[in-house]
Amino acid sequence: MSTIQIDWRRCRGHGVCSAALEGVITLDEWGFPILSSHDLPDKQHGAARIAQWTCPAAALRVTR
């Protein structure tokens, strides 16, 4: 199982992460991410890593 965390000091609300993890990350009205769960099944680990790598603010952290 993987875990995803948002560093709110870095997040700027670009919203790029929601495209990589549809259904897990949605955006509020200002573009900031809302996690449906911090725990992700192994099958979503790759998508979580993509979300982490594409975040312009480097605000996501994925751990296994």
- pLDDT, tens digit (0-9, with 9 covering 90-100), for 37-60: 999 999 999 999 999 999 999 999
Global pTM reads 0.87
Tell me the per-residue pLDDT of 8-29, one tens digit each, with 9 for 90 and over.
999 999 999 999 999 899 999 9
pLDDT at 26: 95
Query: Domain range for residue 59?
Result: 2-63
Output the pLDDT for position 58: 97
Give the per-residue pLDDT at 6. Answer: 96
User: Do residues 14 and 51 make contact, with C-beta atoms less than 8 angstroms apart?
Assistant: no
Q: Tokens representing 57? A: 């603010």
Note whether 62 and 2 are within 8 A (CB): yes
Total structural domains within the chain? 1
CATH number at residue 48: 3.30.70.20
